[in-house]
Amino acid sequence: MGPPETPLPFAGGVTQVRALMDIRAGAELTVQYVNLMEPRAVRQQLLAERYFACACERCSEPLATSTDRFLEARSYNPNA
């Protein structure tokens, strides 16, 4: 899965979606609502506070095989 293609700038109460690259017809577009460098649990909690449950490939695949496993290690605090 690549990076989100559609940052969402706001202008006059209207959401504008602009692609940063060419997008083929039928391609799935993704939008970044939270910092993607946060651990999965943190991202999911922030999204839940907005009444949103993410079901993207990265959030859905097992943590053991996801790139999120590296973020979980980064957030590990042995003094907690």
Q: Please report which confidence band the pLDDT of residue 50 belongs to, taking 50, 70 and 90 as the band edges.
A: confident
Query: How far from the centroid of its chain's Cα atoms is residue 29's Cα?
Result: 12
Within 13-67, residue ranges assigned H as helices are 40-48, 57-60
Alpha-carbon span 23 to 31, nearest angstrom = 14
pLDDT score recorded for residue 57 = 86
Q: Please report which confidence band the pLDDT of residue 45 belongs to, taking 50, 70 and 90 as the band edges.
A: very high
- Answer whether 0.85 is exceeded by the pTM: no
